[in-house]
Structure 1
Amino acid sequence: MNRHHRPPSPTPRLAFRQMTEDDLDDMAALLGDPNVMRHYPRPMTREEALDWIDWNRRLYRQEGFGLWLVTLRATGEFVGDCGLTPQEVEGVTDIEVGYRVRADLQGNGYATEAAAACRDHARDALGARRLIAIIRPDNRPSQRVAEKIGLPFERDAVSRSGLPVRVHATSL
């Protein structure tokens, strides 16, 4: 693996690694949780969670990055996913930082810690010049994470699926 295919370096509490199909139980539980997925059109089925893993494995190969599996360094326990994906908004493709944390682990600052590590990875390992977060207007917790890692609100937009979104962005 060259440096582009490495996940972000560990943070004080969290570690990152590529997803594999062995992570299906954890990812299906995360992506199937109505609480975690309340700002998405709907929770995902187990089959859709497998497609999610496959999509990220394709991104690792093609782009050298994707959403990584996040675990607690102390215990190895599954936390969620966080990482970088190319996303098109209104005809322009940027690298987006995305993050999801297990419902019972939310409120501990894990999303902010993981997203900050992915921001630094985008800048330092990938040489990205710009980073965005695409967030539903009613998802205040996610907007706060974006703001905390230095991605202020930039503009209102419409997602590829036709939903209103808020784009948070920064130059790196």
Structure 2
Amino acid sequence: MTADPPPATGRLTFAEMTVDDLDDMAALLGDPVVMRYYPRPKIRAEALDWIRWNEGLYRGHGFGLWVLRSRATGEFVGDCGLTPQPVDGVMEVEVGYHLRTGMQGRGFATEAAAACRDHARDRLGVDRLVAIIHPDNTPSQRVAERIGLSFERATTSESGDPVHVYAARLA
């Protein structure tokens, strides 16, 4: 299965995540600000597990979370992509994003998520896209709304935490 990432946007490039990205991913996923809506920041070994999980997604599904870099400088920005996620017993395709603290608030998440939405629709044939968001994470909710997802319902995650599901039909 091919796992071609979305094409570059005006400011960002997408690439498959590899172990070469471990330092950047460990810093991103270990940042308490980035991970404030997760149970806790991830340690380096968990960041490696995150990379391995995405490598498996590329092979098994043809998509996953991709590393985001600045098109102008090559600087690491974060990750963004598509993952299969169970929601109330149904497997959905979720768009997700994590940006370095210093890269937040500049429209990068919206730019990357919109590219992933278009890639899901145009290249992967995904007809429904969701974002599973912590109820207090208003910046992430705004990104979901900006790319055309609407609040659908409040539910609980697989781990029992409250989440809001934003969704849109793409077809």
TM class by shorter-chain length? Answer: over 0.9
CA distances 1:49-89 after superposition (whole Å, capped 9, x unpaired)? 00000000000000000000000000000000000000001
What secondary structure sits across from 2:136 in the alignment?
Answer: coil
d(CA) in 1 for partners of 2:103 and 2:125? 31
d(CA) in 2 for partners of 1:99 and 1:57? 17
Match of 1:75 in 2: 73
Match of 1:105 in 2: 103
Letter aligned with residue 100 of structure 1? H
Summarize the alignment of residues 7-86 of structure 1 with structure 2, pairs less than 5 Å apart. Answer: 7-86=5-84
d(CA) in 2 for partners of 1:123 and 1:103? 29
d(CA) in 1 for partners of 2:117 and 2:95? 7
Letter aligned with residue 78 of structure 1? F
Gaps of 5+ in 2: none
Following TM superposition, by how much is the alpha carbon of 1:5 offset from its aligned partner in structure 2, in angstroms?
Answer: 1.5
Match of 1:169 in 2: 167
Letter aligned with residue 155 of structure 1? R
d(CA) in 1 for partners of 2:154 and 2:105? 26
d(CA) in 1 for partners of 2:33 and 2:40? 10
CA distances 1:19-52 after superposition (whole Å, capped 9, x unpaired)? 1101000000000000000000000000000000
d(CA) in 1 for partners of 2:159 and 2:123? 31
Q: Pairwise CA RMSD of aligned residues?
A: 0.7
CA distances 1:131-151 after superposition (whole Å, capped 9, x unpaired)? 000000000000000000000
Instruction: List 4+ stretches of structure 1 deviating above 3 A.
Output: none
What secondary structure sits across from 2:96 in the alignment?
Answer: strand
User: 116, 120, 128: which is aligned to 1:130?
Assistant: 128
Identity, in percent, stands at: 68
Q: TM-score, normalised by structure 2?
A: 0.98
d(CA) in 1 for partners of 2:122 and 2:15? 18
How many aligned residue pairs are there? 170
Q: TM-score, normalised by structure 1?
A: 0.98
CA distances 1:105-128 after superposition (whole Å, capped 9, x unpaired)? 111100000000000000000000
Gaps of 5+ in 1: none
d(CA) in 2 for partners of 1:90 and 1:158? 8
